[in-house]
Amino acid sequence: MTNNDNLFKHQEELWSDWRWQIAHRITTTEELHNWINVTEREEQSIQKSVGKYRWSITPYYASLMDKNDEMCPIRRQAVPSLEEFEYFPNAEVDPVGDQLYRKTNRVVHKYPDRVMMLVTQSCSVYCRHCTRKYHTTDLSGSYFGDSETLSFEEDFDYIASQPAIRDVLLSGGDPLMYSDQKLEFIISRLRQIPHVEIIRIGTRFPVLLPQRITPELCAMLEKYHPIWLNTHFNHPKEITEEAAKACDQLFRHGIPVQNQTVLLKDLNDDLPTMRALLTGLLKIRVRPYYLYHCDNVTGVSHFATTIEKGRELMKGLLGHMTGFAVPQYIITTKLGKIPLWEESLHLNNDGYSIENYEGKTAELIF
Ligand code: SF4
């Protein structure tokens, strides 16, 4: 083997190492210039973000960006934009009501039989459209305050004290930011609670840094079945060989992978893109199950399309594709997730009122 071969092998090994990728995330304009031709607007946006919004991009995700096209769907999801600072009168930092239903530092209990544990506020890439932008990306935000390092005991105790809870979703931030050991600590403790039947992990790692899905991680998760994994592909460009391999590894360890997509204006809200995304997911055996209407979140509202456009798009999917390729079109409200079906939508003067599974109504004002 020549010196060049050795060097190449070493570089390949580094590229496949998720810890190396995390340590080498792009966080400055200078570093970003190594990947794309950063436009003046992007530079201004990055400058404006200082002290307000975090941003970071894994080298892997950056490698998917179009060098010259500012409208590249990968770029738009990862590079800050001036629109994040625009004022939208009805935008809120927490339109989905996480804070209303928070029972402990990390546990959000919104539905009778399931809870979400916000285990961290960190992510590998800070997606510009994040619903929990206040918690993850906003430097003045965070649901935790300075308490991310608090013990998990209070959270486990709460779940153990509520026999109706049969399903725990680990979310964040991204739970896979934690080491396998820390994740195993959390999952093994949940497994000791007899009424917890299933554990779900909400993570964007298969999309943003598929190298994180290692054989060691999968072998650890397999010990605690039933484990489900929900991920978040938004565009066909994200369905790469590496992403497919990550999902395949999870399947081989008995972990089903499902996808939730956020409907994003001028990024995936046209029929050809959405069809390519959904059929692409089937090819890697990932089942699409939710298409989220983009929440009216402060700093995110510019990504929202109209409900009419979303419903029109759904008409172009239903019946035109394999049944299970078509996700449910959903909006998350303070009353929980509500499917945007004809029956639950009522047009009124300001927008829509929608009805949840209990017949309670929420107002949608955009
Ligand atoms: S990885 Fe998930 S939680 Fe983190 S910024 Fe992206 S969408 Fe938000």
Q: Which residue's alpha carbon is nearest to atom 6 within ligand 1? A: 127
What token pair was written down for 344? Answer: 């639950």
> SS3 for 111?
strand
Which ligand 1 atom is nearest residue 208's CA?
1
**In testing the pocket of ligand 1, which one of 121, 124, 136 has its CB within 8 Å of the most ligand atoms?**
136
Output the CA 4–ligand 1 centroid distance in Å. Answer: 38
Which H helix or E strand runs over 63? none
DSSP 327: P
Pocket of ligand 1 (CB under 6 A): 123, 126-127, 130, 132, 136, 172-174, 204
Cα 35 from chain centroid (whole Å): 23
pLDDT at 286 over 60: yes
Is residue 161 within 8 A of residue 104, CB to CB? The reply is: no
Closest atom of ligand 1 to 129 CA is 7
Sheet holding 198-202, edge to edge: 107-111, 114-118, 167-171, 198-202, 227-231, 257-263, 287-293, 328-333, 336-339
| pLDDT tens readout for residues 82-102 | 999 999 988 999 989 999 999
Task: Name the closest-CA residue to atom 3, ligand 1.
Answer: 173
Q: Which two tokens stand for residue 239?
A: 């369905």
What digits encode the pLDDT tens for the residues 170-203? 998 999 999 999 999 999 999 999 999 999 999 9
pTM of the model: 0.95
Q: Is the pLDDT of residue 147 over 70?
A: no
List domains and CATH numbers for the chain.
Answer: 3-82 (no CATH), 107-345 (3.20.20.70)
Phi, psi angles (nearest 5°) of residue 337: -80, 135
**Burial class for 354, CB neighbours closer than 10 Å (0-12, 13-18, 19+):** buried
> Which band of pLDDT confidence, cut at 50, 70 and 90, is reported for residue 145?
low
Distances (CA, A) of 22 to 15, 119, 153, 209, 290: 10, 18, 28, 9, 28
Quick one: residue 285, left, alpha or beta (phi over 0 = left, psi -120 to 50 = alpha)? left
